[in-house]
Chains A and B, each alone.
Chain A
Amino acid sequence: MDSSSLKLVLAGPVGAGKSTAIRALADDEPVSTEMPMSEGAIGDKTTTTVALDFATVQLDDGQPLLVYGLPGQAYFAHMRAIVLEGAVGALLLLNGRDPDVPAVCREWLQSLRKLEPDLAIVIGITHTEHLEAFDTRAVQAAAKSVGPPIPIFTVDARDRDQTAHLVRALLLAMV
């Protein structure tokens, strides 16, 4: 962990709530590269991040924590290694409404682990509260097929406290 530039990365597929979570975490308005979705809206989501989201969170001693959001699109996968380098950890956000969320979870974890094998990761699953059949245990099982148990939380990405709770879990997962 390089203390000169502290970096936190939010990863995950399109529509998982990365930009929203960064907005919830940030001290100021994030720098965003959102554009209208070229293939139409996904639910109430009408824009998508085409490069990076970026924001800062000021620590108690004034040092900024740099928060980056990785673009979810596969054609931006080449950017992941660059952004992840030196990160203190990653919040992997997944869309609970995706019926294939366990498979998506496994795919993203494998991708992140391949780039940064020792990276601390926690998972936040969004959009779950109105899903009667959502299966947290299936996502836990998928994650455990990739490595040791990691925190997997169902969260509301709009909620500042819940997003901060993901960071707390990330810190505890590092201990």
Chain B
Amino acid sequence: MLMLTQSFGTATSRVLIRHAGLEESQERRIRIASRLLSVYGIKASVEPWDGTRCTLLVVTAGDVIGERAVQLAQRRHTPVLVIGGGGVPDAGMFHVAEGAPSAMILEVLRTILGVSGGLPVASGPETASGDVLDACALVRLADHASGSGGDLFARVGSTDIKFRWSSGRVVAATHSDLLHARDRLGQAQWSIRPLDPNRRSKAPGEVSASIDVFFLRGALSPHAKTLPAFPAGRFQLADWPDLGSAPDLVQSLALAGHLIRHPATAAEAAKATGMPLELVERSFWGFRAAGLLAESGGARSGATGEAKLPAKPGVWKKLAARFGLLRGSD
């Protein structure tokens, strides 16, 4: 295992990942997972195998060129990630299943590169990386929420905010602090540390709001313009998000209604709900940061993934039309 001593706010570590014998879809998933390493301050380049040194080699099991590359990599003590095959344990050899989604590949890359689990945290003010994509707070928090998910204290600028996934709330001194923090979820200049459960300091007049709405609005905000592509895979909501204070987000509510029943890729969800793919991917980031969106191991449920109308569709449609469900737009 390589050990990178990288954390947020310091110079970005760079790794070079070379691949041999990958199919196009496998290469795409490797690229997505590699890009998500930026969440941990690691800038990964993905290039085809050319016989030169690299940080990690990725090959497809059984590929002839890949096998030659593996032999050379092993002589150089370069770790190898094999996609598919039997997965025989060997020093420096790591394996993922042939159809492993990017999120799973990311986890293996983290293991290989020695990136510690969970969200890297900082104890004080951080240095901006200057690259929003490399350290977008929303992506970091989404990764944290889908991992350990422990509550966090965060500071952006002079604004303090508490992320309480355990109770589904965000807490700040004022509403304007909540808005200020939400509009900076696409930025890197966040200081984050675990929230001590034994010190639930309760300042008078603090306000709280739905963490689900907070992250969803943050993801949909034009301030978060450089969110990375959402990892490949099929996802499902574990519970309905609390969108009560966001009555304008009608499409997101419909998307939630779909994902609570149907595991779906972003593309499938976009097709089923009629939402633009970019909006679905942004909503996926928001739901994931809220800790509600989980990768589904199962196949797509239902024959089409399309929503089914209830027993009395005429009545349902009349009510839906009256309450703005059929003509809603986010």
Binding site for B on A (CB under 8 A): 1, 3, 6, 57-61, 63, 65, 88, 124-125, 128-138, 140, 144, 149-156, 159, 161-162, 164-169, 171-175
Contact = CB atoms under 8 A, between A and B. Distances in A.
Contact of A129 (B207, B254, B261): B207
A165 B243 contact: yes
Nearest to A125: B244
11 contacts: A3-B314, A59-B322, A65-B319, A129-B209, A130-B207, A151-B240, A154-B210, A165-B253, A172-B325, A175-B308, A175-B316
B167 A137 contact: yes
Nearest to B248: A161
Contacts of B311: 1
B241 to A, nearest CB: 9
Given A134-B167, A159-B247, A171 B208 contact: no
B208 A65 contact: no
Given A57-B322, A65-B319, A172-B257, A153 B242 contact: yes
A134 B247 contact: no
Contacts of A134: 167, 169, 208
A175 B307 contact: yes
Given A132-B208, A168-B323, A168-B328, 8 more contacts: A61-B318, A132-B207, A133-B202, A137-B166, A149-B239, A161-B248, A168-B250, A171-B319
A138 B167 contact: yes
B206 interface: yes
Contacts, number: 132
Contact of A168 (B202, B308, B310, B324): B324
Nearest to B243: A153
Interface centre among A57, A133, A144 (most CB of B within 10 A): A133
B200 interface: yes
B314 A140 contact: no
Given A168-B253, A175-B308, A175-B310, A132 B321 contact: no
Contacts of B261: 175
Given A140-B239, A161-B248, A6 B315 contact: yes
Interface in B206-253: 206-210, 238-240, 242-248, 250, 253
B88 interface: no
A162 B247 contact: yes
B318 A172 contact: no
Contacts of B120: none
Contacts of B260: 149
Given A3-B315, A60-B318, A156 B242 contact: no
A152 B240 contact: yes
A63 B309 CA distance: 20
B320 interface: yes
A59 B245 contact: no
Nearest to A148: B260
For the side of the interface on B, what is the size category? Answer: 35 or more
Contacts of A136: 167-169, 210, 242
A24 to B, nearest CB: 11
A118 to B, nearest CB: 10
A175 B256 CA distance: 12
A140 B315 CA distance: 29
Given A135-B168, A136-B210, A165 B316 contact: no
Contact of A135 (B167, B205, B316): B167
A171 B325 contact: yes
Contacts of A175: 257, 261, 307-310, 316
A1 B253 contact: no
B160 to A, nearest CB: 13
B33 interface: no
A83 B286 CA distance: 39
A175 B302 CA distance: 13
B315 A165 contact: no
A132 B202 contact: yes
A119 to B, nearest CB: 13
A144 B248 CA distance: 27
A73 B187 CA distance: 50
B185 interface: no
Contacts of A164: 247, 323-324
| Leading 6 A-B pairs by shortest Cβ distance | A153-B244, A136-B168, A172-B257, A161-B247, A165-B247, A135-B167
Given A128-B208, A162-B245, A168-B323, A173 B318 contact: no
Nearest to B320: A171
Most chain B CB atoms below 10 A, which of A60, A131, A174 = A174
